[in-house]
Structure 1
């Protein structure tokens, strides 16, 4: 592993840049850290393509599992599905970004939840801090010599879907967006939609909807709390994401859109994605929707191994290449 370090003048604005190189089987990638003042560093990973290439950014789902584990050891691996195979092709500059205050320590809780996240993660994580981190990382990556900034694909998975939409709204450089298991309006709608599609009587569903309203009211009464939790995440996390609409943010972007959802998704109901699709279509947008029968949140039937979803990832990359 080779490390290089450069920094701007103390009185100037540029961030100090630290770059570490890693070899992974047949390809290499860099971990770039941007440090400004006393704030947490912005840290991202970028694979080295065979020649100057389009940028492909993966935005991971919820929780605090880092993009990579065991770097610098023989047990290194990626925690973002399909990142390594795509980077190994060397046709794209493939990117991932660490969440703000991401700890390298293992999470002491269920993946996807923020319970048990180490360090300062839950004291800072919100839609706004995550979007700011992504923007800084992408802007820095676009200036690198291995990146062809004329084509930028952002792939958002689950929680990453509204982030991808927000990034497309904020950065005109984003030309294409793939959203996997994406909500359409606010995530609050997803909770209600899941209640309606569940088994049970109308009385049962009404009780659950009333409980949902009570929980939302508690979050709205203390929206900046990072010590109170609901559904595995802090009130700050929920209030900041509830304020966002994937459909609205994409309406303010010019990116092409590809949607992929499992028709049996129990986390983000496909009806939420249908709302997004309907709004984009009626706006005359270039949008493709892949509805996958029998599949759950990971685009495969529940209980099936995630690698079986590779054909779905191949499909949206083929869509991107056809531009």
Structure 2
């Protein structure tokens, strides 16, 4: 199997494992559970497992598209929520060169013990991004004109509710795995849906993401004078975003103002405080994207609330749970650990 890594995403390539297997795709249309929606289902069969791509289409809104693996028997739902940017969960479907852009999705689906799920972001384009993965620069189509915490949460809620009604999904146990930007989304989903029983947050912020910027400035080796200048610049940038919070043409830190204003308004800690889910946190102690101090705030608040929370602090590791320069598959023991935690419930 072949792995490639970019700045913000884990790419698991199944080309070598599946190149000799013909991808069978069937398309079915039918009425959805609501009178105004239709369902399109495409089946992708691999050598050892299969999964469906399901599209929910309302006439007056953007389609909701998600992916769900077929377990060996009725099984708990495991949802992966990807990090920032507009890279689709899968690439090359319908071709021999197909792979998942969400690390560990394929091997967990192939295990067949869970119904493994991923959801496309609202207005996700199939066209390749022209900018750096993880940012929103160069995203095609309507993605940047619509993407926000609120539209993403609404998409996730609709997809999960639809998946929970499927006959091979055991709705009594639902695990949501949020990675980086996906962490506050997982917390928000756990607040909104009582069906979410367990949450794994990888590189999670605690309070607003605005805190992460300040914490990263303080943890740098710069002088206090330089830190003060950076903090003042942070305040100016935030002021500009707050003055025009719905702008999708103005960018900061690689994303439109709308994206930042909607995420800044959210606190992972507060959203989890309004859920009943068990929580597992995993963070690299050298993460320079989401400082582990932000996760420590989340952990402290959950502990003092008497919540069932586990925190895995990983020495020398960065944002992807491995030391800088190391291949992402070296993080697999960390993924195995949180799945074992889920199984012990």
Interval of TM-score (by shorter of Structure 1 and Structure 2): over 0.9
Deviation, structure 1 residue 242: 0.0
CA deviations on 1:202-226 (whole Å, 9 max, x unpaired) are 0000000000000000000000000
Counterpart CA distance in 2 for 1:233 and 1:318 is 35
Match of 1:179, SS?
A: strand
Unaligned runs of 5+ in 2: 1-24
Task: Give 3-state SS (helix, strand or coil) of 1:277's partner.
Answer: helix
In structure 2, distance between residues paired with 1:85 and 1:8: 30
1:47 paired with 2:69, answer yes
Query: 2:182 matched to which residue of 1?
Result: 160
| Separation in 1, partners of 2:218, 2:332 | 31
Match of 1:185 in 2: 207
Shift of residue 14 of structure 1? 4.2
Deviations 1:173-213 (A, max 9, x none): 00000000000000000000000000111000000000000
> Counterparts of 2:205 and 2:65 in 1: how far apart (Å)?
27
Q: Secondary structure at the match of 2:184?
A: helix
- Is structure 2 residue 290 aligned with structure 1 residue 268? yes
Q: Does 1:284 align with 2:343?
A: no
What secondary structure sits across from 1:2 in the alignment? strand
Cα distance, 1:25 vs. partner?
3.4
Alpha-carbon distance between aligned partners in 1 of 2:192 and 2:32, rounded to the nearest angstrom: 26
CA 1:51–1:220 in 2, change beyond 3 Å: closer, same or farther?
Answer: same
Query: Secondary structure of 1:155's match?
Result: strand
1:227 alignment partner in structure 2: 249
Unaligned runs of 5+ in 1: none
Match of 1:118 among 133, 140, 159: 140
Distance in structure 1 (CA, Å) of the matches to 2:165 and 2:29? 17
Q: Does 1:247 align with 2:269?
A: yes
- How far apart, CA to CA, are the structure 2 residues paired with 1:130 and 1:193? 26
Matched, 1:304 2:326: yes
Alignment partner of 1:5 out of 18, 22, 29: 29
Alignment partners' CA distance in 2, 1:98 and 1:8: 19
Q: Say whether residues 1:102 and 2:124 are aligned partners.
A: yes
Deviation at 1:78, TM superposition (A): 0.3
CA distance in 1, matches of 2:47, 2:237: 47
Query: How many positions carry a matched residue from both structures?
Result: 321
Q: Distance in 2 between matches of 1:236 and 1:227?
A: 9
SS at structure 2 position matched to 1:163: helix
Structure-1 separation of matches of 2:320 and 2:292: 13
Report deviation, 1:7.
2.5
Cα contact 2:36–2:59 (8 A) shared by 1: no
- The RMSD of aligned alpha carbons is 0.9
Residue 167 of structure 2 aligns with which residue? 145
**3-state SS of 2:341 partner:** helix
Q: TM-score, normalised by structure 2?
A: 0.92
CA distance in 1, matches of 2:47, 2:250: 43
Q: Distance in 2 between matches of 1:272 and 1:54?
A: 30
TM-score of the superposition, structure 1-length normalised?
0.98
Q: Distance in 2 between matches of 1:34 and 1:24?
A: 24
Cα offset for 1:233?
0.2
